[in-house]
């Protein structure tokens, strides 16, 4: 399941030290961070760090570090053999899913980032809507599939104690958390995902549905600064002139806050 975090995986991704250093009894929040790492934290580091800023600490701190190499997103290896999940998930389905579908997202994500780089060089933003959409589609596709492969384990697993405590607190019981996750997955309209997630302001575990996954957001990123362009945010003052509101928002923009959020996100894992 999505909340599983095995020591073996930690070792594989260089996180073993982080896990063993953790004072689990006194730091439930930290435990949750690791336990639900999958739901957060990937991607944003690398996007904002840029291709040449992969310091050792940053690299070691990323659970899914084999999904990005030398400035490019790459298709990671599966954490098990193609036949390891049979008969519950057949080799043929898994192989096509990984080698065709996931690989397609990786290719699309890199291609979109190249086009965005050209747009920034030429200051030509005429395709920004299509490019933003493509970025969200391929970016979420890549990140969610990276998480998905690790969300399954041959033979399944038990819910670890720390996670179990958090599930009891936030869902009432472990079985309620499991049932809510399964119910949400079954009820996703058309294509999409069920997502077991950690919400860092309240420190809460949540189950969310994502319809499709490209609705202009990348699951896994950490928001650093936001501009509200719902009509309620500007209509009284600016009526339909959203452009004027955005231009003035940019004059108010708090990049220091964004920097603090970036530092916090980078140090989280
Ligand atoms: Mn898929």
Contacts of 109 (CB under 8 A, 6+ apart): 73, 135, 138, 139, 141, 142
Predicted local distance difference test score (pLDDT) of residue 123: 98
Q: How far is the CA of 100 from the centre of ligand 1 (A)?
A: 10
Q: How far is the CA of 124 from the centre of ligand 1 (A)?
A: 33
Q: How far is the CA of 2 from the centre of ligand 1 (A)?
A: 15
Predicted local distance difference test score (pLDDT) of residue 45: 37
Predicted local distance difference test score (pLDDT) of residue 261: 82
Predicted local distance difference test score (pLDDT) of residue 228: 84
Q: Residue 59's CB: how many other CB atoms inside 10 A?
A: 16
Q: How far is the CA of 145 from the centre of ligand 1 (A)?
A: 6
Q: How far is the CA of 7 from the centre of ligand 1 (A)?
A: 26
Q: How far is the CA of 211 from the centre of ligand 1 (A)?
A: 13
Q: Measured between alpha carbons, how far is 181 from 128 in angstroms, rounded to an integer?
A: 35
Q: How far is the CA of 101 from the centre of ligand 1 (A)?
A: 6
Q: How far is the CA of 144 from the centre of ligand 1 (A)?
A: 8
Task: Check: CB of residue 141 under 8 Å from CB of residue 213.
Answer: yes
Predicted local distance difference test score (pLDDT) of residue 249: 87
Domains and CATH numbers, the chain: 31-269 (3.55.40.20)
Helices (H), the chain: 7-12, 16-21, 28-35, 44-49, 56-60, 91-96, 103-122, 128-150, 161-171, 174-186, 231-238, 242-252, 255-267
Q: How far is the CA of 126 from the centre of ligand 1 (A)?
A: 31
Straight-line distance from the first to the last Cα atom of the chain, in angstroms, rounded to the nearest whole number: 20
The pLDDT tens digits along the chain (269 residues) read: 333 334 443 333 333 333 333 333 333 333 333 333 334 434 333 333 333 344 333 434 356 778 999 999 999 999 999 999 999 999 999 999 999 999 999 999 999 999 999 999 999 999 999 999 999 999 999 999 999 999 999 999 999 999 999 999 999 999 999 999 999 988 988 888 989 999 988 999 999 988 887 677 888 888 787 778 889 889 999 999 999 998 998 899 888 888 888 888 887 65
Q: Residue 193's CB: how many other CB atoms inside 10 A?
A: 20
Q: How far is the CA of 99 from the centre of ligand 1 (A)?
A: 11
Predicted local distance difference test score (pLDDT) of residue 259: 87
């Amino acid at each position: 399941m999505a909340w599983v975090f095995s020591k073996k995986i930690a070792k594989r991704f260089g996180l073993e030290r982080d896990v063993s250093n953790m004072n689990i009894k006194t730091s439930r929040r930290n435990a949750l961070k690791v336990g639900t790492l999958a739901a957060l934290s990937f991607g944003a580091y690398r996007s904002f760090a840029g291709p040449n800023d992969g310091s050792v600490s940053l690299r070691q701190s990323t659970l899914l570090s084999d999904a990005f190499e030398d400035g490019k997103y790459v298709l990671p290896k599966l954490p098990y053999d193609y036949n390891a999940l049979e008969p519950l998930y057949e080799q043929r389905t898994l192989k096509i899913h990984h080698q065709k579908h996931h690989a397609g997202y990786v290719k699309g994500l890199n291609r979109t980032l190249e086009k965005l780089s050209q747009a920034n060089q030429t200051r030509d933003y005429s395709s920004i809507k299509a490019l933003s959409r493509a970025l969200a589609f391929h970016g979420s596709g890549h990140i969610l599939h990276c998480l998905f492969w690790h969300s399954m384990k041959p033979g399944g697993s038990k819910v670890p104690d720390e996670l179990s405590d958090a599930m009891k607190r936030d869902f009432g019981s472990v079985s309620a958390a499991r049932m809510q996750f399964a119910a949400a997955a079954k009820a996703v309209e058309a294509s999409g995902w069920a997502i077991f997630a950690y919400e860092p302001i309240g420190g809460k575990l949540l189950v969310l549905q994502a319809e499709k996954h490209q609705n202009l957001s990348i699951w896994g990123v950490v928001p650093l600064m936001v501009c509200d362009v719902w009509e309620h945010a500007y209509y009284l003052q600016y009526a339909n002139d959203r452009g004027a509101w955005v231009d003035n928002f940019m004059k108010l923009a708090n990049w220091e806050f964004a920097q603090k959020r970036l530092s916090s996100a980078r140090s989280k894992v």
